[in-house]
Amino acid sequence: MCGIWALFGSDECLSVQCTCAMKIAHRGPDAFRFENVNGFTNCCFGFHRLAIVDQLYGMQPLRVKKFPYLWLCYNGEIYNHQALKTKFDFDYQTKVDGEVLLHLYDRFGIQKMASLLDGVFAFILLDTANRKVYLGRDTYGVRPLFKFLADDGFLAVCSEAKGLVEITHSMETAASIVPFLPGYFEVFDLKLNGKVQSVQFEQFHCCTREPAHALYDTVEGLSSDFGEETVKRNIRTLFENAVRKRLMAHRRIGCLLSGGLDSSLVAAMLLKLSKEEKLPYSIQTFSIGAEDSPDVMAAEKVAAHIGSEHHKVEFTAEEGVKAVEDVIFHLETYDITTVRASVGMYLVSKYIREKTDSVVIFSGEGSDELTQGYLYFHKAPSAKAGADDSIRLLKELYLFDVLRADRTTAAHGLELRVPFLDHRFTAYYLSLPEEMRTPKDGVEKHLLRDSFKGLNLIPDEILWRRKEAFSDGMMSEKKSWYNYLQEHLDSVVNDSQMEKAEQTFPHNPPRTKEAYYYRQVFEKFFPGRAQWLSHYWMPCWISATDPSARTLSIYKPDKHQ
């Protein structure tokens, strides 16, 4: 987890512009660097480093003697960098995983380079010999990237939008700041004055297609028949592979553990593999919640079962309410369910940073979207409708759950790893017949649960535990976290403000006082930037006015709670 920032063609003083890069210093607490580009005095890179791999040579922009004309700033991890080195006989100068981008680009060009990367990444690559600038982002947008482009060709790029909002430029029309689309790369011609012109914008991978790098994966060809036992075996194999490749780190690994199915599977597999790989420390797991929270109780059962060093972080509604403003600043969104769920994740990340030495944090994001885990999937009118919505959710992850997971951990200088969003695992799961992926016998994610049945990896009662939204499960069954929030905010926003909500906020107008307050805080930090959120996250196929699963007519508390 690092913070990257770059300018191409700035007319303003670079030393003034560079202060904007300090807005993302939280992403890289270990070191930072600003560097001008030789021959282009109005172009520069900024980098905030969190050292995870190659502590000696990991500073950026990364440059190697073999390619003196290439400058690379990237945030992410490339899990197959050693496999690609062996396959193509690359001569590495450092142990930095990102060095593989330079060799792939030199050998194959940008399109093949991007498609061969197995990992999570956002990159800025400059080729001064051919005067090109390249931007790219991983399939699900696990690593963030924002782009600011003025009419005159001044380009600014940053891991988070807050590093761009105060950039100054000479054009009269305001420059838009937009999230860079996941799974795409963009090519710019670099003019002699440092300005750029976009010449190509192309998708290099989508979630339904097997990734090009599968050819060089340690898991070789899987049996392609859709017999139930074969499918379940393949799911287990690919999931184990997804966790194993993410063990790449020189810093201590930990895991968020809510006690739900997804985080429990990740934690259990992580514990199993850490023993096989003989990691020199115990794996710490972390849960957050009130004393009578169903999540906390379930997490303790899992931790005891798998033998992790478990930390339970106490959560009170008062502490949560106090954190909301900071959370919205880090998130750069006002989406209701994202803000609610982020408060707990932000506070548990704060605890991890302050009280432990775990830095690389595994989590269960992506599973609900991939395996149709939300309760509303029970109401899908057909298997095809469910499958289509699953793909829609995966494509929108960068606006919602993945955004939450990145910003809340990065706020405290932690690095997130999400095995359920492994390219091969997701492509395989989405290739299965639509009927296999639907809820069955009244249980969502049935196929995933069934794949791990009888292995004693996690307790049976957790394997079959009903979906509970993270933000709901932090508090007791009697009163959800969103109820506390709504009660508190009822007195903060008045009725006359709500009556004028549509005029005050014409884009995504808030329908509740809670939503109004989030929007108000967002506008305080990022005035006029409401378009960053295209729409609120809401369940489909069911009459819903609130995103919480506990408000749905189909919600039933788990019988084990």
**pLDDT at residue 272 greater than cutoff 60:** yes
Residue 517 Cα distances to 334, 336, 509, 522, 538, angstroms: 9, 10, 12, 9, 18
Report the pLDDT averaged over residues 89-118: 97
Count CB neighbours of 478 within 10 A: 7
Higher pLDDT, 290 or 72: 72
Report whether 336 belongs to an annotated binding site: no
CA atoms within 13 A on the CB side of 391: 16
All CATH 3.40.50.620 domain ranges of the chain, comma separated, are 218-555
Percent of residues, the chain, with pLDDT higher than 70: 95
Report the pLDDT averaged over residues 351-365: 97
- 150's tokens: 């003025």
- Quick one: pLDDT band at residue 142, thresholds 50, 70, 90? very high
Check residue 561 and give its pLDDT: 39
Check residue 559 and give its pLDDT: 44
Report the pLDDT averaged over residues 419-427: 97
Question: Are 186 and 201 in contact, with CB atoms under 8 Å apart?
Answer: yes
**pLDDT at residue 473 greater than cutoff 80:** no
- Mean pLDDT computed over every residue of the chain: 93
Count CB neighbours of 503 within 10 A: 8
**pLDDT at residue 552 greater than cutoff 80:** no
* DSSP-derived 3-state class of residue 180: coil
- Nearest residue to 313 via CA among 271, 285, 341: 285
Report whether 221 belongs to an annotated binding site: no
Higher pLDDT, 553 or 346: 346
Check residue 436 and give its pLDDT: 97
Check residue 505 and give its pLDDT: 98
Higher pLDDT, 17 or 505: 505
Among 106-115, 160-169, 195-204, 356-365, the minimum mean pLDDT is found in: 160-169
Polymer length of the chain = 561
Q: Under CATH, to which class is 3-203 assigned?
A: alpha beta
The string of pLDDT tens digits covering residues 309-339 is: 999 999 999 999 999 999 999 999 999 999 9
All CATH 3.60.20.10 domain ranges of the chain, comma separated, are 3-203
Report whether 54 belongs to an annotated binding site: no
Question: Are 152 and 194 in contact, with CB atoms under 8 Å apart?
Answer: no
Alpha-carbon distance of 46 to 160, in angstroms, equals: 13
**pLDDT at residue 363 greater than cutoff 60:** yes
Check residue 139 and give its pLDDT: 98
Predicted TM-score (pTM) of the model is 0.95
How would DSSP label each residue in 478-542? SS-HHHHHHHHHHTTS-HHHHHTHHHH--SS---SHHHHHHHHHHHHHSTT-GGG--S----SSS
Report whether 363 belongs to an annotated binding site: yes
Percent of residues, the chain, with pLDDT higher than 90: 80
Alpha-carbon distance of 119 to 393, in angstroms, equals: 20
Count CB neighbours of 223 within 10 A: 12
Alpha-carbon distance of 198 to 90, in angstroms, equals: 30
The string of pLDDT tens digits covering residues 437-464 is: 999 999 999 999 999 999 999 999 999 9
Check residue 470 and give its pLDDT: 59
Report the pLDDT averaged over residues 332-358: 97
Check residue 219 and give its pLDDT: 85
**pLDDT at residue 471 greater than cutoff 90:** no
Check residue 560 and give its pLDDT: 42
- 246's tokens: 């993410």
Cite the active site residues: 2
Please give the CATH architecture assigned to the domain spanning 218-555.
3-Layer(aba) Sandwich (3.40)
Check residue 218 and give its pLDDT: 80
Report whether 258 belongs to an annotated binding site: no
Question: Are 131 and 191 in contact, with CB atoms under 8 Å apart?
Answer: yes
The string of pLDDT tens digits covering residues 373-386 is: 999 999 999 999 99
Check residue 171 and give its pLDDT: 74
Count CB neighbours of 46 within 10 A: 28
The string of pLDDT tens digits covering residues 21-34 is: 899 999 988 888 88
The string of pLDDT tens digits covering residues 188-230 is: 999 999 999 999 999 999 999 999 999 888 887 788 899 999 9
